[in-house]
């Protein structure tokens, strides 16, 4: 079977067929996949029968998987792979059910060198719903009016573990996990280290403010940019099938999970992130 890459939407997403991710990947295939990843910001591989370790090994086509921050989600024996499940509870907080990823965000933007990419591999999927949306924030930046580009180029945003403004809940951290996650600043407009394209680097779950700007002005600006960046025309919406692997570029996208399915059904995925580089 030959490798085929088929775009799935105008600004994000392509489906890759003709590959079994358990097999070794030659240099030419690796180069084609990495180029497709840059061109489409998110790639889908169907029908991949992968253990957690094989999933981590497959992700090395695109980079180096990093150790998960929150230890309660590790897959046994594989600290690079965590679990995303609708049975998760905030075991260090109130013990209540905690469905993660349900509003727009980019992963771990509160790290100094935030991840390059996030990948999910579907083990169990509800019969309907539970889609993951990915929006391309480089395409969104390119479509901004020039006056807005001039206004935001050069601004720096403060990212914290959990913004005081977000309705989202994140798991409590241990003192050790807190020490490992101090606040950081990142440019609001990020230059992609490989493509050189500018992208909005937004994350309402983590952004606590804009350096040198009052909160009212900063949050009005961020809300305006979020409304722009999450328009359907910039998105790819992934409708899951079991054994899908989806990987997206965290440097130029945001994503969200949809908790719109019957919670009696199990939604259970393996998840990992690839190491990133400084944003400025």
Q: Looking at 48, 59, 111, 118, which residue binds ligand SIN (CB under 6 A)?
A: 118
Check if 186 is active-site. Answer: no
Q: Does 253 bind ligand SIN (CB under 6 A)?
A: no
Q: How far is the CB of 31 from ligand SIN (least distance, A)?
A: 27
Other beta carbons within 10 Å of 257: 22
Residue labelled with tokens 């935030």: 114
241 annotated active-site: no
136 binds ligand SIN (CB under 6 A): no
Measured CA distances, 179 to 51, 130, 182, 226 (Å) = 32, 33, 6, 30
Within positions 84 to 113, which residues make up the interface with ligand SIN, using CB under 6 A?
84, 100-101, 107
Active site residue 107: yes
State both tokens at 213: 């700007």
Which residue of 81, 117, 257, 272 would you call a contact of ligand SIN, by CB under 6 A?
Answer: 257
Strands (E), the chain: 4-7, 14-17, 42-45, 74-75, 78-85, 117-124, 132-136, 156-159, 184-187, 189-191, 198-200, 207-210, 235-238, 245-249, 253-257, 268-274
Q: Is the CB of 83 or the CB of 156 nearer to ligand SIN?
A: 83
Would you call 105 a catalytic residue per the annotation? Answer: yes
Q: Which of 108, 255, 267, 270 is catalytic?
A: 255
With b for 16 or more beta-carbon neighbours within 10 A and e for fewer, the 173-184 pattern comes to beeeeeeebeeb
Dihedral of alpha carbons 19, 23, 27, 31, sign:
positive
274 lies in the site for ligand SIN, by CB under 6 A = no
Q: How far is the CB of 278 from ligand SIN (least distance, A)?
A: 22
CB of 234 to ligand SIN, least distance (A): 18
Task: By CB under 6 A, name the binding residues for ligand SIN.
Answer: 84, 100-101, 107, 118, 132, 255, 257, 271
Enzyme catalytic residues: 105, 107, 255, 271
């Amino acid at each position: 079977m030959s490798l085929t890459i088929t775009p799935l939407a105008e600004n994000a997403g392509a489906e890759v067929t003709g590959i079994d991710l358990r097999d070794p990947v030659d240099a030419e295939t690796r180069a084609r996949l990495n180029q497709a990843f840059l061109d489409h910001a998110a790639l889908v591989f169907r029908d991949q029968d992968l253990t957690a370790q094989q999933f981590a090994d497959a992700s090395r086509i695109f980079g180096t998987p990093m150790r998960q921050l929150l230890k309660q989600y590790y897959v046994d024996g594989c600290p690079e792979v965590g679990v995303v499940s609708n049975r998760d509870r905030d075991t260090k907080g109130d013990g209540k059910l905690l469905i993660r990823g349900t509003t727009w965000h980019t992963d771990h933007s509160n790290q100094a060198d935030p991840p390059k990419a996030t990948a999910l591999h579907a083990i169990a999927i509800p019969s309907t719903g539970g889609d993951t949306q990915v929006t391309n924030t480089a395409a969104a930046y390119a479509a901004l009016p020039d006056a807005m580009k001039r206004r935001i180029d050069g601004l720096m945003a403060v990212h914290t573990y959990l913004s005081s403004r977000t309705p989202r809940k994140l798991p409590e951290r241990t003192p050790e996990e807190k020490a490992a996650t101090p606040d950081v600043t990142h440019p609001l407009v990020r230059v992609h280290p490989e493509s050189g394209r500018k992208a909005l680097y937004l994350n309402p779950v983590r952004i606590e403010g804009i350096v040198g700007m009052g909160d009212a002005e900063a949050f009005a600006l961020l809300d305006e940019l979020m409304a722009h960046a999450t328009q359907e025309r910039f998105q790819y919406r992934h409708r899951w099938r079991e054994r899908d692997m989806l990987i997206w570029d965290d440097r130029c996208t945001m994503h969200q999970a949809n908790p719109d399915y019957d919670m009696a059904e199990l939604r259970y995925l393996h998840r990992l992130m690839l190491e990133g580089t400084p944003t400025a």
